[in-house]
Amino acid sequence: MRKSMRDFPSYFADAEASFDDAEFVVFGAPYDQTCSFRFGTRYAPNEIRNAAWNIETYNIRTGLDIKNSKIHDMGDLDISAKSPTEAVEEVRKAAEKIISAGKFPIMFGGEHSMTPGVIAGFGKNAKGIFVISIDAHIDYRLEYDDERNNHACAMRRCSEFVGPKNIAVLGIRSGCLEEMEDAKRDSLFYRDSYWIWENGIEKAIAEAVKRAGKRKIYFTLDIDGIDPAYAPGTGTPEAFGLHDYDVLKVIDAIAPRLVGFDIMEVCPPYDNGNTSMLAAKIVREVISKVKG
């Protein structure tokens, strides 16, 4: 009987460079211990790697071939059984290693609670970063389930490094009253998905970029920011989401100023395969636009 899928190498497609030679370094953060609904994001890094082998190296949109980008795959961090605090610290160490070597970090989650670890990895320079997040959830809770490093607190933790005024969250359509009030009090900028539907992603991007001023930008993509029609395989899906083309527009607008990227919350047990494919494609679009 034929196997259902070809076997591919265990690294991200075309990540053939050594760490020392690489411009881009990808790594997996397979952590889903603080998940609040559906578990399984720990399987995402390998599914995204696998999916990437189905994508042509030549990008017809940008005209660039990914073979001209030097990418290294560090593999997965050994964090799946650790406490949230320990896992975030492991992410920080990995990110610091990549960033201090002058390379561009790309993390595959895992859950969104790992993102503050990368921001922490910028050390003193974190203060000069503006974070753009695409997410269905504002993730601005002080804590959740008695845990500060819960995935529902990701932007709150990032705000402690960069300041709440240096964050823009696009595409939200879920948050509790308390965190929405905290966000307003702290001048956290956000545009919900209903606003974006009415006014266009271009307007939201222009506002976010204006707020960023001259800061470098870190882009974190919680895949649930995209509508479940395009990205069904995620832990906490929310209807009325962004279009996948909205994400391309964000990438195109900010790529020249990007210092890092992560793609979080893909949940393979609830996927039909398309969400991992979309994630892999988005990673390659980011590499292509940052390189270009």
Indicate the SS3 state at residue 124. helix
**Least spacing, CB of residue 21 vs Mn ion, in Å:** 35
Closest CA to 227 of 213, 245, 210: 245
Interface characters, 8-27, with Mn ion (x: CB under 5 A):
--------------------
When binding is defined by CB under 5 A, the residue of 32, 47, 111, 135 that contacts Mn ion is 135
**Of 201 and 231, CB closest to Mn ion:** 231
**Least spacing, CB of residue 136 vs Mn ion, in Å:** 5
Q: What is the DSSP string of 209-265?
A: HHHHTT-EEEEEEEGGGB-TTT---BSS--SS-B-HHHHHHHHHHHGGGEEEEEEE-
Interface positions, 136-155, toward Mn ion (CB under 5 A) = 136-137
Interface characters, 175-214, with Mn ion (x: CB under 5 A):
----------------------------------------
Tokens, residue 42: 């720990």
Q: Which residues pair with residue 29 across a beta bridge?
A: 109
**Of 182 and 224, CB closest to Mn ion:** 224
Piece in contact with Mn ion (CB under 5 A), picked from 26-34, 188-196, 197-205, 219-227: 219-227
- Which single residue is written with the structure tokens 């929310």? 238
**Of 73 and 222, CB closest to Mn ion:** 222
Interface positions, 221-240, toward Mn ion (CB under 5 A) = 222, 224
What is the C-alpha to C-alpha distance for residues 19 and 117, in angstroms, rounded to an integer?
20
What is the C-alpha to C-alpha distance for residues 102 and 110, in angstroms, rounded to an integer?
24
In angstroms and rounded to an integer, the radius of gyration of the C-alpha atoms of the chain is 17
Q: Side chain identity at 288, as an amino acid letter?
A: S
What is the C-alpha to C-alpha distance for residues 275 and 2, in angstroms, rounded to an integer?
24
Residues in binding contact with Mn ion, number by CB under 5 A: 5
**Least spacing, CB of residue 135 vs Mn ion, in Å:** 4
Piece in contact with Mn ion (CB under 5 A), picked from 75-83, 93-101, 129-137, 210-218: 129-137
What is the C-alpha to C-alpha distance for residues 87 and 78, in angstroms, rounded to an integer?
8
User: Which residues contribute to the site for Mn ion (CB under 5 A)?
Assistant: 135-137, 222, 224
